[in-house]
Amino acid sequence: MAKMTSAYANKVLKKLNDDKNFYLNKEEEGQVYVAAIDEEPVIPDYDYVEVSAKIAEIDEKIVKIKHAINVVNATNKIAVGDSEMTVDTILVRMAQLNKRKMVLDKMRKRQEKTRENYGYLNARKAAPEYQYINYDLKLVSSEYERIDSEIAAMQIALDKFNQTFEFDVEY
């Protein structure tokens, strides 16, 4: 059993994944070898049982750490502004807000009026056409800023939690 924060657990997971990739590469390279009939073969140093056991051991540790993180994320509440939210709720909400922020960013960058360019010559129309926005540009910009601030508040609360909240991991 070990005490970890989410930030530390993610570093441990990165190390475990690096170790697993090492053994997966060892397995990939050691599975077969080529030898000419008239030469002494150079057989790679590969033991299926040993490599498979290491991969399984690493996978088991990864499962335990990720489960512990998931339990923490689903059961612990963090104060964000005037409300409290679980970590998993914050993550879902941040994803939703980031998608909305992208739409609002595109909207806030538009000009109120732009000329449509269909080429220099249009046989059917001699008069230029214009595209107009159909919303309040100031309202959209304001909403963008509000959502950006809300995301930032959630991220700060989440970062603080991930750096300071300790939980037990059996691995």
pLDDT of residue 117: 74
pLDDT in tens, 51-94: 999 999 999 999 999 999 999 999 999 999 899 999 999 999 99
3-state secondary structure of 164: helix
Asked if residue 122 has pLDDT above 60, the reply is no
Examine the pLDDT at 121 and tell me if it is beyond 60: no
Distance CA 127, CA 94 (A): 46
Q: What is the pLDDT of residues 107-119, one digit of tens each?
A: 999 999 999 876 5
What is the pTM (predicted TM-score) of this model?
A: 0.81
Does residue 125 register a pLDDT over 70?
A: no
End-to-end CA distance of the chain: 6
Q: pLDDT at position 127, please?
A: 80
CA atoms of 28 and 141, how far apart (whole Å): 53
Q: pLDDT band at 123, cuts 50/70/90?
A: low
Q: Is residue 169 within 8 Å of residue 65, measured between CB atoms?
A: yes
Amino acid identity at 36: A
With a cut of 60, say whether residue 4 has pLDDT above it: yes
> What average pLDDT does the chain have?
94
Return all residues near 47 (Cβ < 8 A) that are at least 6 apart.
none
